[in-house]
Structure 1
Amino acid sequence: MITKSLYLSAVMALTCSIGFSQDAKKQDIKSIKSMCGCYEVKFNFTETFQYPKDSTTYKPSKTKHDYGLEWVELVEDTPNKIVMQHLLIVSDEMIIKHWRQDWLYENTDLYSFDKNTSWKYQKLDKKDVKGQWTQKVYQVDDSPRYEGSSIWVHVDGKDYWLNTADAPLPRREHTLRKDYNVLKRRNIHEITKTGWNHEQDNDKIIRDDAGKDVLIAQEKGLDVYTKVDDSKCLAAQKWWAANNALWKNVRDKWQTVFDRHKNLDLNPKVDNKPLYSLLFDLKPDTPKAETDVIIDKFVK
């Protein structure tokens, strides 16, 4: 397990020894892009500690063990931006567009999750993000989820990125839990010999309108991505080839929203339907004008 003190020590050692050189950046890019490909994934989550006001009525989340086959598509690859789309393979006939992660080098524009369906725009100082990569994580409909900026660490045989960021409730709980509205996620992405791990130490928080936080529980998460031959994910590759134009239109529309550099508040449903439901029903050749109209209805 990578502790916060180990991470800070590694960052200091890395900074002192090689600075923020182009060689370091190349190593960062290699690590990020190594997360692409075909993976057998094990998802594991368990509540570790509870701090409810009323322990007699509190119902902790059940320990979760799940697995799946996932294709991680390299969508965009430029010197300062890497975009990767996760596709969950249920069967050859059923592919689910999963979460997306963008990596931006020395990024200064951040959307920090506030609570419920709101994000606050934050302008970072250039000097504070020197040598850092922002990971921007998006929902299945490409709306925002959470973001954070940190340095990749490559030292003593370790290869990882660590960051803490506020996020909405996870998909596994947002229909089950109403007693908290913020998940403070401590995320570690670590590259391994067999693939990569996504380790989490999360705080379940209720945040009021004044910004006061009350911790009600904590949980441990460990998603293990084991690399397998790309041929096992051919169905997802074919699906993306047929549908990528539609989702590029969706990403482009969202980018115009983000480029406003204003706080963002979203409608959870329109006509009693969530955004992902409306977008998932569209045909691959749906024009951008139509997807633009749908997304606009959800942006307050």
Structure 2
Amino acid sequence: MKKIPGLIVLLIASQATLTKAQSKLEQDRAAILALGGFYKVTFDYAETFSPDTSYRNHPQYHNYGYEWAVVEQETPGKIVIQHILVTGDSSVIKHWREDWVYEEQNILTFDKNNTWKKTKLTPAETKGRWVQKVFQVDDSPRYESIGTWVHVDARHQWQSECDSPLPRREFTKRSDYNVLRRGNRVYLTANGWMYEQDNQKIIRTADGDKLLTREKGYEEFTRADEAKFAFAKNWWKQQQSYWTAVRQVWDQVYAAPGTLQLKGKVDGKLLFERLFEMADQSIKEKWDAEKSKAATRKVITSYLEKTV
């Protein structure tokens, strides 16, 4: 039997490794793209354990709604999914957004009090991994975390941990903790996907972190009839260019160096209220992209507490 030269063996091995890496990346992308679609979403949260024996768990939270997860942008290394919440036959709300970025080295780390620190990861820390960047309804920051998509035994799963502000269901109702440490698991199911969470509710002070209580959460996305989202499709078609301009303004804010801190209310209004009002105004007055960017940049800048 003729011996294969060592160099050829190395080349074959290198090609096999490259092919495997490419197929893994494509598996990752296919799993993320599968998050898009039309869904009924159920929200279930329950507090489970506190180190303080006198603590009493808050009531369990259960709710549901319908969401259209729109794939807004798709490139080899980035996928943007915008969630549109449907609350009736003719009532919709721009909901949260998730950007998935491959081997992203720049992430925002939540501290407390509407403050995020800009963190630089090393190439070793990001190799083969995806950052999920989650944004508020007005495209301001919420949380960002990094993890590896795993594809084994017909299961497709991504897992991470990060700090975030209080969840929307509690931030206007509670002040007994100020940081939610999220243990996130995203995995595909037979009928959609699951966003499973093992959370810690943290009291963060200058002296350090103290655990208030733990929480288990499930957000289950089950595929729904696309016909229910006809009004939402038309609504988003009108709003889409305005919110693209908003994202571009925020991208400039995120690219600037230093800590990012946001104000609460300005002139009696929260940021999302101002930007939602301007969205309707932009449609009524037929703003072009440049006018939308100029107007929203002025508003967003007014809510920046400091960038140092």
> Same fold, TM exceeding 0.5?
yes
Report what 2:217 is aligned to: 221
Evaluate the alpha carbon distance shift between residue 228 and residue 18 of structure 1 in structure 2; reply closer, same or farther with a 3 A threshold.
Answer: farther
1:51 matched to 2:48? The reply is no
Which residue, 275, 284, 296 being the options, matches 1:291? 296
Which residue, 97, 104, 111 being the options, matches 1:100? 97
Report what 2:12 is aligned to: none
Q: Deviations along 1:74-127, whole A, 9 cap, x unmatched? A: 111111110000011011321011110000000000100001200010000012
More helix by share: 2
Report what 2:233 is aligned to: 237
1:261 matched to 2:257? The reply is yes
Measure how far apart 1:239 and its partner are.
1.2
- Structure 2 contact 80–100 (Cα < 8 Å) conserved: yes
Give, in whole Å, the separation in 2 of the partners of 1:217 and 1:18: 45
Q: Deviations along 1:142-200, whole A, 9 cap, x unmatched? A: 00000111110001121110000100000000011101000000000000111000000
Measure how far apart 1:237 and its partner are.
1.5
Report what 1:23 is aligned to: 23
| Unaligned 5+ runs, structure 2 | 1-16
Q: Secondary structure at the match of 1:281?
A: helix
Q: Secondary structure at the match of 1:232?
A: helix
Aligned AA for 2:108? Answer: Y
Which structure carries more relative contact order (alpha carbon 8 Å, separation 6+)? Answer: 1
Give, in whole Å, the separation in 1 of the partners of 2:20 and 2:115: 34
Q: What are the residue-to-residue correspondences of 1:145-224 with 2, within 5 Å? A: 145-210=142-207, 212-224=208-220
Aligned AA for 1:41? Answer: V
Evaluate the alpha carbon distance shift between residue 177 and residue 51 of structure 1 in structure 2; reply closer, same or farther with a 3 A threshold.
Answer: farther
Measure how far apart 1:246 and its partner are.
1.1
Aligned AA for 2:271? Answer: L
- Structure 2 contact 85–95 (Cα < 8 Å) conserved: yes
Measure how far apart 1:59 and its partner are.
5.2
Which residue, 218, 243, 246 being the options, matches 1:247? 243
Q: Secondary structure at the match of 1:115?
A: coil
CA RMSD of aligned residues (A): 1.6
Query: Which structure would you say has the larger Rg?
Result: 2
Give, in whole Å, the separation in 1 of the partners of 2:124 and 2:50: 39
Give, in whole Å, the separation in 2 of the partners of 1:143 and 1:19: 38
Give, in whole Å, the separation in 2 of the partners of 1:70 and 1:193: 18
Give, in whole Å, the separation in 2 of the partners of 1:261 and 1:218: 34
Q: Secondary structure at the match of 2:111?
A: strand
Q: Secondary structure at the match of 1:255?
A: helix
| Unaligned 5+ runs, structure 1 | 1-16
Give, in whole Å, the separation in 2 of the partners of 1:37 and 1:261: 35
Aligned AA for 2:22? Answer: Q
Give, in whole Å, the separation in 2 of the partners of 1:25 and 1:111: 24
Measure how far apart 1:63 and its partner are.
0.4
Aligned AA for 2:190? Answer: K
- Structure 2 contact 48–57 (Cα < 8 Å) conserved: no
Measure how far apart 1:218 and its partner are.
0.7
Q: What are the residue-to-residue correspondences of 1:109-148 with 2, within 5 Å? A: 109-148=106-145
- Structure 2 contact 248–293 (Cα < 8 Å) conserved: no
Measure how far apart 1:227 and its partner are.
0.8
Q: How many residues align?
A: 280
